[in-house]
Amino acid sequence: MRLFPNSLAGRTVLLVVAVIAVAEFATLSLIGHFRRTSHLNQTVQLIASQVRLLQIVLPSLDAAGRRQLSGADAGERGLQLGPDDSHVPRHQPRFRFARHLAVELGERLGEPVLLRHGGPGQRTGLWIGFLAGGERWWLILPPPRFEPQELPADLWLGLAATLAAVLLIAGLFVRGIVRPLARLGDAVAATGDGAARRVMPEGPREVRRLAARHNTMLDQLATAAAERREMLAGLTHDLRAPLARLRLRQALLDSDTERAGIAHDLDDMERIVGQCLQFLRSEEADRAPVPLPIAALLRDGVARQRELGRAIELTISAAAEPRKVAIAAGNLQRLLDNLIDNALQHGAPPVRVEFSMADASLARLLVRDHGPGIAEADRQRALEAFAQLEPARATNGSCGLGLAIVRRIAAGCGGEVLLGEAPDGGLEVVVCLPTS
């Protein structure tokens, strides 16, 4: 069970609520303390003045005057004079107000006072005993004068309005912190997926500084990638001239066996150079590719493969026939060629190509072979550049770029590549592309 939210916004709001709750609890405690203290002081002052007055008046009164005074009500103060000891409760009160009242009255009057009450749970008055003219008299304090008073409803409404206002202000501040962080997180995630995205520095100073460093990192990565592309492009271009010379020398050899061996090695080398060039070209993002009806392009691409004597089956659903995908024609051709080459080189014919709709806005290009497939644990690594799942592939004209090229082209169109196992065996590559 999690005690705290996972998100920064949730934890910040929880912190604000906790701080406000503690502050309001402390405020209410202080208000209650001052109310109780003020109420006690007022009650002590009222009773002390009444007792002094009665101590002066009672000795000079006759029996009729005393009876009249004992039955009278002191008015809005709620103080009454008890007639005798017969009706006085015998229970000594233990609650805090009574203890403090006894101490304060004793200090004010200069003599101890007696307190009596009906007992716990009894809503009776508090009897206060004092001496006047050598006799014990009792003053009755009604329950409303010593029972805890509830806070007024207006105070609760004011506190609730204050809490709502503070939460609103805190929410706005938290939003100003979390939203820039969320945008920065999305930009970092997009960069990790190969689609570098800059972010506008906004929010607090630390967040702005982090966003600026992210943008600086993107610039440095772009510069390094450009230098790497230039170096690899020059290297692969320079290799074509020695390959052409080797072709010429191979043709001049007398031995058919030597010519066949060298021709095989030259084919492997040219295939590796071609894959490197395609990988470099797949990094060049189209700024605004025009949506193309790729069904016709797929038919042309499969037709070219069949002209080379390759066993390729093509199926296009009626729903996918008119749909368009924002992809350059050259990238689509490279994507299809690499999928078919990979299926024939590492799988087994026949190769099946299917183009259908995964849902209303997502096209599904499936290429399936009948080879051994790829183990589930190795499928994610197979999509990485220069990944060699089997050492033998490195000596068979492959440098591990085929599926990496496919994934990069698909990611540039906002799609993704998934590897799976065909129902009847073999590798199943699914390329999902958004349509229009």
CA 193 from chain centre, in angstroms, equals 20
Is residue 199 a contact partner of residue 184, using CB atoms and an 8 Å limit? yes
Question: What does the pLDDT average to over 254-274?
Answer: 67
Write the pLDDT tens digit of every residue in 73-104.
544 344 455 555 667 777 888 788 888 888 88
With tokens 């609520």, the residue in question is: 17
Which range has the worst mean pLDDT, 29-43, 233-247, 295-309, 357-371?
A: 233-247
* Burial class of residue 294 (count of CB atoms within 10 Å of its CB; 0-12, 13-18, 19+): buried
**d(C-alpha 147, C-alpha 35), whole Å:** 12
Reply yes or no on whether the pLDDT at 381 is more than 50.
yes
Whether 209 shows a pLDDT value over 80: the answer reads: yes
d(CA 229, CA 37): 81
Q: Does the pLDDT at position 298 exceed 50?
A: yes
CA-based end-to-end distance of the chain: 45
**Tokens 């089997």, residue located:** 390
Could you tell me which residues come within 8 angstroms of residue 408 by beta carbon, excluding any fewer than 6 positions away?
Answer: 194, 279, 282, 283
With a cut of 70, say whether residue 274 has pLDDT above it: no
pLDDT at 397: 47
- Alpha-carbon distance of 358 to 129, in angstroms, equals 92
| Amino acid identity at 392 | A
Band of the pLDDT at 194, cuts 50, 70, 90? low
The model's pTM: 0.45
**In contact, 312 and 350? CB cutoff 8 Å:** yes
What phi, psi does 392 have (nearest 5°)?
-65, -25
Phi, psi values for residue 271, rounded to 5°: -65, -40
pLDDT at 243: 67
Chain-centroid distance, C-alpha 6: 6
Tell me which amino acid residue 239 is: L
Mean pLDDT for the stretch of residues 172-190: 78
Asked if pLDDT for residue 364 goes beyond 60, the answer is: yes
- Is residue 233's pLDDT more than 70? no
- Residues 292, 297: Cα–Cα separation, whole Å: 9
* pLDDT, mean over the chain: 76
Q: Dihedral, CA atoms, 131, 132, 134, 135, nearest 10 degrees?
A: -70
Map residue 233 onto helix, strand or coil: helix
- Phi, psi (5° rounding) for residue 281? -65, -30
pLDDT at residue 394 in the model: 47
d(CA 297, CA 291): 12
Asked if residue 350 has a cis previous peptide bond (ω within 30° of 0), the answer is: yes
Residue among 99, 144, 106, 149 nearest 125 (CA)? 144
Sign of CA dihedral 297, 300, 301, 302: positive
Could you tell me how many helices (H) and strands (E) the chain has, helices first?
A: 10, 11
CA-nearest of 267, 238, 229, 217 to 398 is 267
219/222 Cα distance (integer angstroms): 5
Instruction: Kindly calculate the radius of gyration of the chain based on its CA atoms and give it in whole angstroms.
Output: 46
